[in-house]
Structure 1
Amino acid sequence: MQVFSTFEKNAFLEIAISMLEKKGIKKESIFAVPLDNRAEERKIFDNLHRSDGTSLIDIGVALATAFSVIGASIGFELAWGPIYWGLIGASIGFILGVAIRLFTEKVIKKKSRLLKGKQSEVILIIDCDESQVELVENILWNHFALGVAKVK
């Protein structure tokens, strides 16, 4: 039976491996694979096949609505009338909202676009008997494994 687990690269991984060896798991039955984590910056703009759930036009649409109402109200007294000034206000509000959202995503929330939380850095694969699976699983969980799976 095989037990798979993911760990951060730290001392707990080394302690878990040595504890498994002490409990009778052979060194040849333990296989650790380091992972390459994402080094490039995440993209802001979504495409058809990938979306991160962040909308760039939400503030733009809200400001377009507000500015169009204000523009139409003021437009009754201006030369071009309420329709033109409402459209001008909507376009200015939309552009301003998208610019605000781009600024917050590029400058303020730059760190939040990186992977959040703990990152798996090592996959640990252990070949063991079915009688040892629960012991191996408990050792891995007690040494702060990020995830554990069993395969027969």
Structure 2
Amino acid sequence: MQLFSTFETTGFLEMAISTLEKRGIKKESIFAVPLDNKEKDRKIFDTLHRSDGTSLIDIGMGLATAFAVIGASMGFKLAWGPIFSGLAGAFVGFVLGFAIRLFMELVVRKNKRALKGEHAEIILIVECEESQAELVEDILWSHFALGVAKVK
């Protein structure tokens, strides 16, 4: 019987392997495979089929609203009038907010991802007798496995 499990790159994986060896599982029956990290940079703009959950226009819309109100208020005193001044304020606010958010995504978040050091998971494959399967599964869960599957 084979048990497949995934772990984050932590010391719990090593502790799980050493516990399995102490409980009678041979070294040759334990196989660990690290998954590769994605090396390409993430795309900033979403497509129809893929979205990363971040919005680039949220700050822009808020600033557009605020600048439109301020522009319309001041437009009563200007020669252009309140409507054109409000539209101009909305455009300036949206562009400013979009630029702020784009800067945050390109510079600030990229540095956080680099400092965070995102690591891929590790797949652990354990071959054992059917009578040992329950023990092995308990050991893997107790050492914080992300997921465990059995294959006969």
Q: Bin the TM-score by the shorter chain.
A: 0.7 to 0.9
Preserved contact between residue 74 and residue 82 of structure 1 (Cα < 8 Å): yes
Aligned to 2:123: 123
TM-score (norm 1): 0.81
Counterpart in the other structure of 2:78: 78
Amino acid at match of 1:96: L
CA apart distance, 1:9: 4.5
Once residues 138 and 120 of structure 1 are traced to their aligned partners in structure 2, the CA distance between those partners, rounded to angstroms, is 23
1:7·1:120 contact (CA, 8 Å) conserved in 2? Answer: no
Residues 36 and 120 in structure 2, CA contact (< 8 A), matched pair in contact too = no
Gap regions ≥5 residues in structure 2: none
Q: Say yes or no: does 1:24 pair with 2:24.
A: yes
1:106 equivalent to 2:137? Answer no
Instruction: Identify the residue that residue 68 of structure 1 maps to in structure 2.
Output: 68
- Judged with a 3 Å threshold, the aligned counterparts in structure 2 of structure 1 residues 82 and 9 are, in CA distance, closer, same or farther, namely closer
What whole-Å deviation, never above 9, does each CA across 1:36-81 have from its counterpart, x for those lacking one?
A: 1123332222111111111000110111111111111211221111
Deviation at 1:139, TM superposition (A): 2.1
Contact 1:6 1:120 in 2 (8 A): no
- Residues 108, 11 of structure 1: alpha-carbon distance in 2 compared, 3 angstrom cutoff: closer
Q: Secondary structure at the match of 1:6?
A: strand
Cα–Cα, structure 1 residues 59 and 38, in superposed 2: closer, same or farther, change >3 Å? same
**Is contact 2:9-2:119 (8 Å) kept?**
no
SS in 1 for 2:73: helix
Moved more, 128-137 or 103-112: 103-112
What fraction of aligned residue pairs are identical, expressed as a percent?
73
Distance 1:16 1:151 in 2: 19
Residue 137 of structure 1 and its aligned partner are, at CA, apart by 1.5
How far has the Cα of 1:93 moved from its partner? 0.5
Task: Give the deviation of 1:11 after TM superposition.
Answer: 5.2
C-alpha contact 1:68 1:86 (8 A) present in aligned 2: yes
Q: Letter of the aligned partner of 2:110 in structure 1?
A: K
The answer to which of 44-53 and 87-96 deviates more is 44-53
Is there any run of 5+ residues in structure 1 with no aligned partner, and where? none
Instruction: Say what the alpha-carbon RMSD is for the aligned residues.
Output: 2.7
1:49 and 2:44 equivalent?
Answer: no
AA partner of residue 97 (structure 1):
G
CA contact (8 A) 1:120 1:146 kept: no
Cα deviation, 1:73-113, whole Å, max 9, x if unaligned, reads 21122111111111111100100110111122222222445
